[in-house]
C-alpha cells in the first residue's frame, strides 16, 4: 500500500514539475538580452551619382559593429556604426574622379526576427540615421552629413551559448547635393559577422 502511495505521489510530483521545467526552458530564448556584434564585407552603390550615369562609386570595403537590446526572440532594437571606403570613377565625376571617399554610416533600427527550430532566424531591419562623407586624403575637402533611411535583410544562426553567426545586406538612401550632383544616392553594405548575447 505504501509503495502504491509513494508511486502515486511521485507521479503527481512529476506531473507538476515537468510542465514548469519545460515552460522555463521555452522562455529562455524569449528573455531580453543585450546583443553586441561586429561585421565586415563590401560596399556597393545601387545608383549612379548623376542622371547621365557617367559617375559612380566603385565597390569598396566596409567594417563596423554595434549593440542593441533583443526584447524577445522576435523583436530587437539596435544602434550601428559602419565605415566604408570606395573610389569614385567616371567622366562625369569631375574633380572626384579616382578619389577614394570615406563614408560613415550610423543610426538606429528595429530588427524583426523569425526564429526557426533549426536555430536559423531570417530578419528584417528598418530604421534611420545619417551618412557622413569625407575625403581623408584631401585636407581641403569639406566633409558633410546627410539624413538617411535604412533597411535590410539578413540571416542569423544562434548557438545555445549565445554566439551568433550572421550575414546581411543593409541599404541606406540619402540625398547627395554636392559636387554638381543632385540625386538620391543608395548604397548597400553586404557583410558577415559575429554576435553575442548577454541574457538579462
Q: What is the mean pLDDT of each run of 10 residues along the chain (200 residues)?
A: 46 44 45 97 91 85 98 97 92 76 96 94 98 87 93 96 97 88 92 96
CA-CA distance, 184 to 181, in Å (whole number)? 9
Q: Which residue in the block uniquely carries the three cell numbers 586624403?
A: 137
Give the pLDDT confidence score for residue 96 in this predicted structure: 79
pLDDT in tens, 117-150: 998 999 999 999 999 999 888 878 889 999 999 9
Question: Shortest CA distance to 195 belongs to which of 69, 15, 56, 43?
Answer: 69
Query: What is the per-residue pLDDT for 177?
Result: 85
Report pLDDT for 92.
72
Amino acid at each position: 500500500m505504501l509503495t502504491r502511495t509513494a508511486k502515486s505521489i511521485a507521479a503527481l510530483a512529476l506531473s507538476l514539475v515537468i510542465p514548469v521545467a519545460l515552460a522555463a526552458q521555452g522562455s529562455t530564448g524569449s528573455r531580453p538580452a543585450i546583443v553586441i556584434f561586429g561585421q565586415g564585407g563590401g560596399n556597393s552603390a545601387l545608383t549612379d551619382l548623376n542622371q547621365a550615369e557617367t559617375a559612380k562609386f566603385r565597390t569598396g570595403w566596409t567594417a563596423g559593429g554595434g549593440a542593441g537590446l533583443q526584447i524577445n526572440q522576435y523583436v530587437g532594437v539596435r544602434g550601428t556604426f559602419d565605415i566604408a571606403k570606395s573610389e569614385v570613377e567616371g567622366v562625369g565625376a569631375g574633380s572626384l574622379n579616382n578619389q577614394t571617399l570615406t563614408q560613415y554610416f550610423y543610426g538606429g533600427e528595429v530588427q524583426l526576427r523569425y526564429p526557426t527550430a533549426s536555430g536559423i532566424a531570417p530578419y528584417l531591419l528598418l530604421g534611420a540615421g545619417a551618412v557622413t562623407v569625407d575625403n581623408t586624403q584631401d585636407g581641403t575637402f569639406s566633409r558633410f552629413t546627410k539624413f538617411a533611411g535604412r533597411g535590410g535583410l539578413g540571416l542569423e544562426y544562434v548557438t545555445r551559448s549565445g554566439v551568433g553567426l550572421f550575414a546581411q545586406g543593409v541599404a541606406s538612401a540619402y540625398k547627395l547635393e554636392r559636387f554638381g550632383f543632385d540625386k538620391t544616392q543608395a548604397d548597400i553594405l553586404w557583410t558577415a559577422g559575429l554576435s553575442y548575447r548577454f541574457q538579462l
